[in-house]
Amino acid sequence: MGLLTGKVVMVVGGTVGLGGGIARAAAQAGAEAVFVTGRRRDRGEATAAELTALGAQAAYVEGNVADPAEAKEAVAEAISRFGRVDCLVNAAGLTTRGTLLDTTPELFDEHIAINLRGPFFTMQAAVADMVGRGAPGTIVNVITMSAHGGQPYLAPYVASKAGLVGLTKNAAYAHRWDKIRINGLNIGWTETEGEDAIQRQFHGAGDGWIEQANAGLPMGKLGQVDEIADFVVFLLSDGAAS
C-alpha cells in the first residue's frame, strides 16, 4: 500500500520540472489516477504515458493556468474523467526576471496570472468539488523561500508568491472544518530544466554552473526534484493529517 493508494491526484504544471517529478512520485505512491496539465502537448502526452507505465490511470489536458476559465475547466475535466479530485498540487510557476525598477505592467500581470490567480481558481474548483461531495481533500501549493524577500531581480515573482502564501493560509483556515488540508511548501533553489534555461538566459551561465552553485550552498547541492516530490506526496497523504 502506497501513501496515495486510491487517490485521484491533479498536478497543475505537472508535465516538466518539479511538477513532473511530483506527478511521477504520486504514481509511484499508488495513486489511482494522476491528471496533469501544462502548455506543451508533446511533454504532457509523454508524461501521461510514463505515469501509465508506473501503474496509474493518467491523463493530460493542455491548458494555460493564467486564464481563470481554463484553470477551472482543467479541474472540471479531471472530475469528468476520474469522478473526483482528492489531491491538488499547484506546481505551475513563472520565474522570469524583473526588478522593482524595470518590471513592466505586462510582466507583473503575467506573474500574478500564473503564480497567484491560477492557483486561486484551481483551488476554488477543487474545493467546491470536495465540499460538494462532503469529502476530505488535500492541496499543496508550491511557493518559494523568496516569498520572504528574495533577490532584487525577482520583484514580480516575489510579489506573486507572497500573495500565494497569504491565499494558502486563508484557504486553509477557511476550510479546516471541511477536513481539507491546504499547505504551502517554501522550496529553495532547485535543479530543474527550467532553472537551467533561466540561468543561461538571464545570468549568462554556461556548462558547469550547477557544480559551481552546489559548492556555494550549505548542503552542497541545489534542491532535488525527487526529494521535494516525496515530501509533497507525504503532505498529500493521510499520514500528514495528524
Catalytic residues, by residue number, are 157
Tell me how far apart the alpha carbons of residues 178 and 217 are, in angstroms, rounded to a whole number.
Answer: 41
| Residue whose cell numbers read 508533446 | 42
- CA 43, distance to chain mean position in Å, is 16
d(CA 15, CA 46): 8
Cell 543561461 belongs to 200
2 SS3 class: coil
